[in-house]
Amino acid sequence: MKYLPLLVGMLCSILTLASDNNIGEAPFVLKIEQELLKKGNEYLLNFRAANTKSMIGYQFAIELSEGITFEEVIPGEIPFLTKNNFGCQKATEGLIFTNWFAGTKRTFVEDELVFSLKIKAEKDMSSVDAVIINHHKMATEAYKESGEHFGIELIFTQNGDNESSEFAIFPNPIKDKATIRSSISSASTIELLNAAGTVLNNYKPKNYTLLQNQIDLSEISSGIYLIRWTDGNGVVKTEKILKL
């Protein structure tokens, strides 16, 4: 699948694509700081690169939760990324579409600010519950010069988080097996929870050196679940997943 240079400001309301990401390729990971959003206050959700990744372009859709009002998008210092790269016609429904295309390879470095969303909280909630990458409204893909493509994921970090506490799950949505990338220690735990927060299964990390562990979800029903990872220091990371 080739990259489609889109004027998302014009087309975001009608674009729906299917994704066939190269599952073996690690995704481009974006991160947002985990914080408590208080009713009535305005916030900047800063989307930063969580890993170093080279590409010529990307596209994905952002979904804001009920109780979050979109106010403005602020591009970072990325060449060729402007407000014209964001389609906001459906922002009142919580959907924002974005793409970026440089034409030549560009390397995103860890902690680089890609863009920010200015939002207002209409009720108290965590930023973890305020925003997700929507994998259904348009293809969630980043593109290589060769024409190959790979996924894009979103994680949440706490103050003081660094590379040692990186956490990402791919692919997402999941058909059968999921790969969890993190700085797994022997004291870590991986848990599968349903949407209500009930623990359904526990998985013991096996790979302590390559920072990747695979879990088999082929036996669980389709739906939305949570993967919760707790490291030996008590740091907890939770990620929503969609089981197909």
pLDDT digits (tens, 9 = 90+) for 196-235: 788 999 987 765 444 567 888 999 999 888 888 877 666 6
Of 109, 136, 160, the one marking the end of a domain is 160
Q: What residues have CB less than 8 Å from 160, skipping those under 6 apart?
A: none
Query: Which position has the higher pLDDT, 6 or 28?
Result: 28
- 198 and 234 inside one domain: yes
Angle ∠(91,94,98) on CA atoms, nearest 5? 60
Of 103, 128, 160, the one marking the end of a domain is 160
* 105 vs 145: CA distance, rounded Å: 7
CATH code for the domain in which residue 219 is found: 2.60.40.1220
Q: Where are the alpha helices (DSSP H) in the chain?
A: 8-11
- 22 and 98 inside one domain: yes
| Cα-based torsion angle of the residue sequence 55, 212, 229, 240 in order, rounded to the nearest 10 degrees | 40
Amino acid in position 72: E
- 137 and 220 inside one domain: no
Looking at the structure of the chain, the number of domains it has is 2
- 101 and 193 inside one domain: no
- 103 and 15 inside one domain: yes
The residues facing 239 across adjacent strands are 227
C-alpha distances in Å from residue 218, one per residue of 62, 174, 222: 27, 9, 9
What rounded mean pLDDT belongs to the chain?
81
Q: Tell whether pTM > 0.85.
A: no
- 143 and 69 inside one domain: yes
Query: Which position has the higher pLDDT, 128 or 213?
Result: 128
Of 141, 160, 179, the one marking the end of a domain is 160
Neighbour-count burial of 144, counting CB atoms closer than 10 A to its CB (0-12 exposed, 13-18 middle, 19+ buried):
middle
Most confident region among 59-63, 189-193, 211-215 by mean pLDDT: 59-63
- 39 and 51 inside one domain: yes
> For residue 190, what are the domain limits?
162-244
- 93 and 177 inside one domain: no
CB 155 within 8 A of CB 31: yes
- 35 and 128 inside one domain: yes
- 169 and 149 inside one domain: no
CATH code for the domain in which residue 133 is found: 2.60.40.680
* 232 vs 241: CA distance, rounded Å: 23
**Tokens representing 1?**
């699948």
**pLDDT band, residue 101 (cuts 50/70/90):** very high
- 147 and 231 inside one domain: no
Q: What one-character-per-residue DSSP string does 5-68 give? A: ---HHHHTTT--------TTSPPEEEEEE--EEPTT-EEEEEEEESS-EEEEEEEEEEEEPTTE
**Lowest-confidence segment of 9-18, 146-155, 234-243 by average pLDDT:** 9-18
- 112 and 195 inside one domain: no
Q: What residues have CB less than 8 Å from 209, skipping those under 6 apart?
A: none
Angle ∠(81,26,33) on CA atoms, nearest 5? 60
